[in-house]
């Protein structure tokens, strides 16, 4: 049963869609619970609708994805249904508009997304049918539903193209930003090394206690927990894997196609319906203009828009595949008429077909098979460990169990807060070096109990024992005295150094000996290793001497003059900044656009039906 714990949804694509996935968990009677509500619409446009049953099923599936698997009622209280409804609204509006515009997503684009998905690749970076199938099975996701998700995403990209590409701002705005970015300052300065701590007289307890009382907040601790935990990795069991030639040969036959690298070509592509623009583009190319520059000027397309990356012949439209793979490097092809319009291509890189050496393949197959079988052994051991937990064994007893063959070290972490901070009486606060799943299991497990075995990273599993919960605390001065002293000393060193710096500056009639011109884009100042120092200098608003403290240095600085450096305001800079600014614009405008689509397609919301079901369920319970 623990095999379902394996999580292959690590990529950006899966993280983005994780909350939307159709998972294969049992619905535990949701269909029956919906009763007479199941066929009623909650959302509808002209050609599509979403029923109460669909929303309830999606809420149920979403809550099963959460680590603590809240009850249906808790999920509603946490507002999960609002996210689900918002997701459904966006989907039906995007797809309704796509249908209205007769948009389609080419099979080649669908295949490109699938083949580029990291979760579907083997260790060599090749697409693996086995990985693809297994990943979807682990999510309970059908190929059909996954393709629909891809189509929805691609439809939105096509629909949003007009305002996604609206990336040209008034030149004055760009110029003002460039002036700010290219500001330079002429300064006078002097550096003062932080004084030696031996020059500071040791304070009395009274002084330290006074400092503690005036700065008490950093020493306060919230509710925290102490834990013990063990980690179990497949590598623990690799020594138990025994392979024979038959297994290796069988694995080789399955995987051998992944070790042949087909020829791929990095391609720039422009597709247009406008014959005049296509001719103008080609005419300019013959005059020596660059493909990228013309794409920007004529079609308003960035480098990212036209570069379709390294592509295999089978990924290309039939009309252009042969021509592209017979062409020479940097040759311009087109316009070629395809079902998408007139396409112009340029091949900018060629990676020839390559066959990996047989001995290297066998070595990799053996390594891969060993890892796979060690994972299988791990799953068997996890089931046995669950039995030990059910029998009441402690984490120490489990760590010494013969099941694991060798003793596993029990690790300890004390004073962990809900925010993942580790507190100490004598050390500074640090972050827990674990991910969110680990932290959640700490706080979802009862005191003196063992957590469920959970997967945190790759195929590494954890078991946590919550030893103790510590109350929110303002510790006594005596407990944090050493920490208070260190903080007081650090502060005192800066104060005393600044006092000496002021005395030195006054003795020289406020004259600072050194001169320097700095740019806002400079990375550091002299030999002072402090990346924030330049920013602090550019934050100064007057011509008075300012003392800026760094880790080992006090910098006395006075601004003599501020001006804009000479810079070239060329088209590339202008275009790059416009593209950057447009991303912010796109996020704002897309929200407005979806609201307009709701009006255009006469989106009807009937949330009352969902409220009726929820109210009925609460009354029944």
Predicted confidence at residue 507, as pLDDT, reads 95
Predicted confidence at residue 237, as pLDDT, reads 85
Tokens of 519: 């740019």
Is residue 339 within 8 Å of residue 322, measured between CB atoms? no
Predicted confidence at residue 168, as pLDDT, reads 59
Predicted confidence at residue 372, as pLDDT, reads 84
DSSP 29-45: THHHHHGGGTT-EEEE-
In this prediction, the residues of the chain whose per-residue pLDDT falls under 50 are 1-38, 616-621
Of 16, 6, 10, 20, the residue nearest 120 (C-alpha): 10
Tokens of 263: 């020829």
Q: Give strand pairing partners of 190.
A: 556
For residues 468 and 603, give the distance between their C-alpha atoms in angstroms, rounded to a whole number.
53
Is residue 417 within 8 Å of residue 224, measured between CB atoms? yes
At what angle are helices 291-299 and 275-286 packed, to 10 degrees?
A: 150
CA distances from 590 to 92, 159, 381, 575 (A): 15, 10, 50, 21
Other Cβ atoms closer than 10 A to 467: 15
For residues 388 and 403, give the distance between their C-alpha atoms in angstroms, rounded to a whole number.
10
For residues 414 and 223, give the distance between their C-alpha atoms in angstroms, rounded to a whole number.
12
Of 601, 518, 608, the residue nearest 558 (C-alpha): 518
CA distances from 565 to 152, 532, 560, 568 (A): 47, 21, 15, 10
Give the global pTM.
0.51
For residues 540 and 559, give the distance between their C-alpha atoms in angstroms, rounded to a whole number.
8
The dihedral sign for the CA sequence 202, 205, 206, 210: positive
In the 8-state DSSP scheme, what is residue 201? P
Classify residue 531 as exposed, middle or buried by CB count within 10 Å of its CB (0-12, 13-18, 19+): exposed
In the 8-state DSSP scheme, what is residue 404? G
Predicted confidence at residue 555, as pLDDT, reads 94
Write out 35-98 in H/E/C secondary structure.
HHHCCCEEEECCCCEEEHHHHHHHHHHHHHHCCCCCCHHHHHHCCHHHHHHHHHHHHHHHHHHH
Predicted confidence at residue 167, as pLDDT, reads 54
- Going along the chain from its start, the domains and CATH numbers come out as 2-163+599-620 (no CATH), 183-218+478-564 (no CATH), 221-244+360-470 (no CATH), 263-352 (3.10.50.40)
In the 8-state DSSP scheme, what is residue 236? G
CA distances from 216 to 419, 428, 488 (A): 20, 14, 12
β 454-457/430-431 pair status:
unpaired
DSSP 3-state assignment of 244? coil
């Amino acid at each position: 049963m623990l095999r379902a714990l394996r999580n292959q949804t690590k990529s950006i694509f899966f993280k983005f869609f994780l909350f939307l996935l159709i998972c294969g968990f049992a619905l535990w009677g949701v269909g029956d619970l919906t009763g007479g509500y199941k066929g009623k619409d909650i959302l509808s446009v002209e050609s599509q609708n979403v029923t109460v049953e669909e929303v309830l099923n999606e809420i149920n599936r979403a809550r099963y994805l959460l680590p603590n698997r809240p009850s249906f009622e808790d999920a509603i209280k946490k507002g999960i249904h609002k996210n689900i409804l918002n997701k459904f609204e966006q989907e039906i509006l995007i797809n309704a508009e796509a249908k209205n515009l007769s948009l389609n997503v080419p099979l080649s684009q669908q295949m490109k997304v699938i083949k580029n998905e990291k979760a579907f690749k083997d260790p060599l970076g090749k697409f693996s049918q086995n990985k693809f199938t297994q990943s979807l099975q682990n999510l309970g996701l059908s190929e059909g539903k996954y393709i629909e998700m891809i189509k929805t995403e691609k439809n939105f990209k096509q629909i949003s193209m007009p305002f996604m590409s609206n990336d040209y701002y008034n030149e004055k705005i760009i110029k003002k930003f460039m002036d700010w970015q290219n500001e330079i300052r002429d300064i006078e300065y002097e550096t003062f090394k932080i004084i030696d701590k031996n020059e500071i007289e040791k304070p009395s307890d009274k002084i330290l206690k006074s400092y503690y009382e005036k700065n008490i907040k950093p020493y306060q601790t919230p509710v925290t927990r102490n834990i013990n935990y063990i980690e179990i990795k497949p590598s623990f069991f690799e020594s138990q894997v025994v392979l024979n030639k038959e297994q290796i040969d069988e694995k080789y036959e399955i995987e051998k196609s992944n070790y042949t690298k087909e020829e791929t070509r990095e391609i720039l592509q422009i597709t247009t319906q406008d014959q005049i623009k296509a001719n103008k583009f080609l005419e300019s190319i013959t005059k020596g203009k660059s493909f990228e520059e013309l794409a920007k000027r004529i079609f308003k397309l960035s480098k990212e828009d036209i570069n379709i990356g390294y592509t295999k012949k089978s990924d290309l439209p039939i009309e252009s595949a042969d021509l592209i793979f017979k062409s020479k490097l940097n040759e311009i092809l087109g316009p070629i008429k395809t079902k998408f319009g007139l396409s112009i291509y340029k091949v900018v890189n060629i990676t020839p077909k390559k066959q990996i050496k047989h001995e290297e393949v066998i070595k990799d197959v053996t390594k891969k098979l060993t890892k796979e079988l060690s994972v299988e052994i791990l799953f068997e051991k996890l089931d046995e460990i669950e039995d030990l937990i059910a029998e009441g064994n402690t984490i120490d007893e489990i760590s010494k169990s013969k099941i694991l063959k060798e003793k596993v070290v029990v690790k300890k972490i004390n004073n962990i807060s809900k925010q993942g901070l580790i507190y100490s009486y004598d050390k500074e606060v640090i972050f827990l070096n674990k991910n969110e799943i680990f932290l959640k299991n700490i706080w979802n497990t009862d005191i003196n109990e063992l957590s469920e075995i959970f997967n945190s990273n790759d195929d590494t599993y954890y078991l946590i024992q919550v030893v103790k919960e510590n109350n929110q605390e303002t510790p006594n001065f005596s407990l944090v005295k050493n920490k208070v002293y260190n903080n007081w000393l650090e502060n005192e060193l800066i104060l005393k150094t600044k006092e000496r710096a002021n005395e030195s500056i006054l003795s020289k009639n406020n004259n600072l000996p050194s001169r320097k011109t700095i740019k806002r884009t400079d990375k550091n100042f002299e030999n002072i290793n402090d990346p924030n120092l330049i920013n602090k200098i550019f934050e100064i608003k007057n011509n008075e001497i300012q003392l800026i403290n760094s880790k080992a240095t006090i910098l006395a600085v006075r601004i003599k003059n501020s001006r804009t450096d000479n810079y070239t305001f060329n088209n590339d800079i202008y275009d790059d900044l416009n593209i950057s600014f447009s991303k912010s614009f796109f996020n704002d405008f897309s929200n407005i656009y979806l609201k307009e689509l709701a009006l255009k397609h006469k989106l009807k919301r009937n949330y009352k039906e969902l409220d009726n079901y929820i109210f009925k369920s609460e009354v029944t319970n």
